[in-house]
């Protein structure tokens, strides 16, 4: 499964035949109703407490999976500094920092966003992968690390894929992905444990 959406046989029919860009992915729940409101609050400067609460729910739901992955570092999907300055916070940073603390592993700012890309939700699905394909760079060595890359919402998986590929190209032994919410076509029991 590439996108994180489960199918009857464990794979999404749209992803069948595609190689995932990560070694496993977990999602807290579908992006809707109360979770949607919570995620939107995370994106505001006074939403850090909500980000930390959602991180605790994510870890509580998938603790066994995280333990099986033997993660030794948590990496947030980085926000470009201009967007971070205008928004005043980064939900992915706050979520990743709390997940790292709950798992007892380092929070790593291993990636930077070199390009102020167009917001993914403003683009058609067909353009999203290209929009972020070269947006990320390594900030520190990740050789032989087993990393968990975190974002707040995943739709097509393009941003997580670009981050995962950058970390893998930098020598990470394994790269796993997690998000608080999966937008569109998602049930509440989304979990893919990977190889």
Residue 192: pLDDT band by 50, 70, 90 thresholds?
very low
Q: What is the pLDDT of residue 189?
A: 41
Q: What is the pLDDT of residue 45?
A: 81
Enter the CATH code of domain 25-118+128-192.
3.40.50.2020
In tens, the pLDDT along 118-164 reads: 555 554 555 555 555 567 889 999 999 999 999 998 888 888 988 99
The residue ranges of every structural domain in the chain are 25-118+128-192
The structure's pTM equals 0.78
- Of residues 153, 185, 158, the one with CA closest to residue 7: 185
Alpha carbons 37 and 22: distance in angstroms, whole number: 28
In tens, the pLDDT along 58-77 reads: 999 999 999 999 999 999 99
């Amino acid at each position: 499964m590439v996108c994180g959406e489960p199918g009857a046989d464990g794979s999404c029919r749209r992803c069948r035949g595609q190689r995932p860009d990560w070694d496993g992915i977990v999602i807290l729940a579908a992006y809707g109703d109360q979770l949607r409101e919570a995620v939107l609050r995370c994106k505001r400067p006074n939403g850090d407490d909500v980000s930390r609460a959602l991180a605790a729910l994510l870890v509580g739901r998938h603790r066994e999976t995280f333990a099986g992955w033997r993660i030794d570092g948590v990496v947030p999907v980085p926000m470009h500094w201009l967007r971070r300055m205008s928004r005043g916070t980064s939900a992915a940073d706050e979520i990743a920092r709390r997940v790292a603390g709950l798992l007892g592993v380092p929070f790593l700012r291993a990636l930077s966003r070199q390009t102020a890309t167009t917001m993914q939700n403003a683009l058609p699905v067909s353009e999203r992968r290209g929009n972020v394909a070269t947006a990320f760079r390594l900030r520190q060595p990740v050789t032989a690390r087993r990393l968990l890359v975190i974002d707040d919402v995943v739709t097509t998986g393009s941003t997580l894929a670009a981050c995962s590929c950058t970390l893998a190209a930098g020598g990470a032994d394994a790269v796993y992905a997690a998000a608080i919410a999966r937008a569109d076509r998602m049930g509440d029991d989304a979990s893919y444990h990977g190889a």
